[in-house]
Structure formats: C-alpha cells, structure tokens
Amino acid sequence: LLDISWFTESMRAGHPVQILDRHQLQEQLVNKPEVVVFSVPSYACQRRTTLENQNTTLTDALSLLAENAELSNEDGRGVAFRRAAAVLKVLPSAVQSMSQLTGLPCLGEHSLRVIKDILENGASNEVESTKKSEKYKALKVLTGIFGVGAKTAARWIREGIHNLCQLRESGHTLNRAQQAGLEHYDDINQSVTKTEAEVIQEMVEKAVASVLPGAQVVLTGGFRRGKMSGHDVDFLITHPEEGREVGLMPKVVSWLEAQDFLLYQKTTRNSYLESKEGPGRPPSNMDRFERCLSIFKLHSVENQAAVQDVTKRVEGEQRSDEQTRPWRAVRVDLVVSPFSQFAFALLGWTGSKLFERELRRWAGYEKAMCLSSHALYDNKQRKYLRASSEEDIFAHLGLEYIPPSERNA
C-alpha cells in the first residue's frame, strides 16, 4: 500500500505522513472517509512551517496563552503553548475532531483542553477570560513600552500601575530606553510594513557603505522569513575580510546620527570569545555580538500620505503630535558579526524564536552539540564545527535544509 520513496521523501520534507494498518485504513476509507489522522515530526526544525496556516483560530488561541505565560514570567508554560501552536501550524487542513490529533507530538493536556473547547464550543473560556483580565491587559500595555520587560511590568502592577497615565503620575524614574519607549509608544506599537523595512534597509546600507565600503548588510528576523509586517526591523552586518568589522558599529551610529535618522540608540560591544574547552554553561547566546538597539526616525512617501489622510479626517479636532508629524518612530536592531561567525549569526537572527529554540534543543539532545549564534561545538569530538553557510550548519546537525520562508514555527 505504500510507495516507499514517496514515504521517505515526505518524512524528510517534514510533511505529515500517516501510517495506518490494514484495518485502520479500511475503517478510514469505509466509515469516515473525511477524517485524516495527522502525523508530524517532533522538533520544529524538522518541519517546514510556511506563513500559510489552516488552523489560525486554534493557533491564535494557543499563542495568546503562550504570550500571557511569557508576560507572567512562566517561560516553561509559554514554550509548551508555543510548541503546541507550532504543531498545528503545519497541519495540511483544518482540524475537525480531536481524534485526528492522536499521536501528535507537543500537544499536552492543557493545550488539548483548549483545542477541544474551541472545536466543541467555538471558543475557549480560558482564552476569552485571559483576554479580558485586568492583569493581561496591564501587562500588554506596560510591556508595550520599549525597555520594559515582564519583570518590571509585574512590579509596577503590584504597585497598582496598570496604564501609561498611572505610570506617568507615579513619579517612577525611567531609564533612557523606557523614556524613549514612552515618548514613541503609539508608533512603536504599530507594526512595521515590508515597504518601511525596505526604506530602512536603504538607510542602513547607505550608512554602512559610507563608513566601511565592501561591508554587507542583510535583513534578518521576520522579514527574511517572508513576513509582510513585524514589530521591528533586524539587520546583520559583516565584512568578508575578518577583522574589518571591528569598531564598525560606532561609526555607523555616528553617520546615522549626523543625518538625524536616530531617535534613540544603545550599543553594546562584542564580548564573545571562543574558548578552547568549548562553550561555557549556560551556552553563550546571541547577546554577545556588537549590537545596537535603536529607534529610527522614518520619513517616507507612505507616511506623508498617511499624515495627510489623518489631517483631513480629524480636521478641527485636537490632533496628537504623533498623528501629524511627517515621520514615524521604528524599532531597529543592528548586529555586527565577524565573517567567520556570519552563517551562525544569520541562522540565529532569522528566527522564528521557536525555530531557534528547537534547533538548539535538537543540537543538544539529539546530537550532543551546542549551537549558538556564534558557533557550533561538538561535545563528542570536543571541537568547533566550522560553517560558511546556513546549509553547512543544517548538514552538521544532520537536518534537512529548511529555507527561511519555512522557518515560521
């Protein structure tokens, strides 16, 4: 009954494959021809997850619970919901009944309960009550401020601060990032379009070419995965001659500042050093690159049109400064990587966050290797494995290559 080449090809491609014995097949064909039992490999990095998703109601619900868990500093629960949502994202059709999910990985009791609620009642009580809860709403508003994480937000909520007004009135001293975040709150919480990302790419390319000719700029993050919008714009910068990239970031930042393109920036220096004994514990992460967290001032044709539109619409009304000025604030992350680490940095900064987490989990648990955005270390051979492309890294890890557009787990 099985064409073995089709089977192995599908498994390798991460496509759902169902294995049924003769009786099951008979039952499916005769009794319930419409029911398909799905099957999916367990690590997200073994699967091809495009932006197309046949189960958005279910994945939106699980993603909201994941977000709520993350905002509540319950990372374990957050990951569990993210993994469950990611499994549903790769199913080839909408889930009709719970029996179709039998044997699927990463669907824990709690996630299954939420799915069951939605399939049976059209909505999950837990999701609906979370959405309405004061705590969730306050966490969303406060962490919407650039520079405010879940811990700070939780502390403020304990003090009775639930919104921006209360925060302003509280007299809390905000750091420079948070001040900028509060000042540009509406802009930063409006998603960045692909067109805006492209305009910013031109600005960054111009800056980089002016201070270091020959340096390369790559758009990473969600936009590299094909998303049409995002919460920020991520760039990776390198130079093919190792060492030329040293000291690049301050020069790029000065150039951008001289053009009045920056509303805020904070640069951290590269602190990554490869140790002979292998990466320390916990594994070194991406934060060690020379990195600039910034807020760009973006003027664009699109913005001008939007501004005129708003001006017409609210003629005579009080208009906020953010609605009327000819630019908007956009969050931009710049990262500089030495050329020898570029493939690892590119893989690490393309995401999605869950895909990255799963790659590292696969490396550790299945291959006894340690993967970071700087390097791949083989614990058995006790050596670093070099790579000049993302394809090399997937090959070292024994994984089929997954292109960026299929890393949307």
Nearer to Mg ion (CB atom), residue 231 or residue 367:
231
Residue 357 CB, shortest distance to Mg ion, in Å, is 16
User: Quick one: angle between helices 125-132 and 56-71, nearest 10?
Assistant: 50
- Residues in the chain, overall count: 409
Could you say which of 187, 196, 232, 390 contacts Mg ion (CB under 5 A)?
232
What is the DSSP secondary structure assignment for residue 385, as one 8-state letter? Answer: P
Could you say which of 38, 264, 349, 362 contacts ligand DCT (CB under 6 A)?
349
Could you say which of 14, 222, 338, 404 contacts ligand DCT (CB under 6 A)?
222
Determine contact, residues 354/252, Cβ cutoff 8 Å.
no
Residue 21 annotated in ligand binding: no
Q: Which H or E run includes 65?
A: helix 56-71
Could you say which of 83, 162, 227, 328 contacts ligand DCT (CB under 6 A)?
227
**Region for residue 251 given its phi and psi (left: phi exceeds 0; alpha: psi -120 to 50; beta: otherwise):** alpha
The active-site residue out of 3, 75, 187, 234 is 234
353 binds ligand DCT (CB under 6 A): yes
Strand partners, 384: 377
Which window, 5-13, 130-138, 234-242, 246-254, contacts Mg ion (CB under 5 A)?
234-242
Nearer to Mg ion (CB atom), residue 41 or residue 226:
226
Strand partners, 247: none
**Residue indicated by tokens 């760009």:** 296
Q: Which of residues 231-290 bind ligand DCT (CB under 6 A)?
A: 231-232, 234
Binding mask 189-228 for Mg ion (x = CB under 5 A): --------------------------------xx------
- SS3 of residue 81 by DSSP: helix
Determine contact, residues 13/400, Cβ cutoff 8 Å.
yes
Distance CA 183, CA 177 (A): 10
Amino acid letter for position 109: E
Distance CA 140, CA 154 (A): 11
Residue 321 annotated in ligand binding: no
296 binds ligand DCT (CB under 6 A): no
Distance CA 154, CA 265 (A): 25
Q: Which of residues 343-372 bind Mg ion (CB under 5 A)?
A: none
Residue 234 annotated in ligand binding: yes
Which window, 27-35, 178-186, 231-239, 285-293, contacts Mg ion (CB under 5 A)?
231-239
Is 234 annotated in the active site? yes
Is 3 annotated in the active site? no
Q: Give Cβ neighbours of residue 369 (< 8 Å, ≥ 6 apart).
A: 363, 376, 377, 378, 379, 385, 396, 397
Is 260 annotated in the active site? no
356 binds ligand DCT (CB under 6 A): yes
Could you say which of 183, 187, 234, 406 contacts Mg ion (CB under 5 A)?
234
Q: In what order do the strands lie in the sheet with 383-384?
A: 369-371, 376-378, 383-384
Binding-site residues for Mg(2+) sit at 232, 234, 333
Q: Active-site residue numbers? A: 232, 234, 333
| Residues in contact with Mg ion by the rule CB under 5 A | 221-222, 230, 232, 234
| Residues in contact with ligand DCT by the rule CB under 6 A | 221-222, 227, 230-232, 234, 349, 351-353, 356
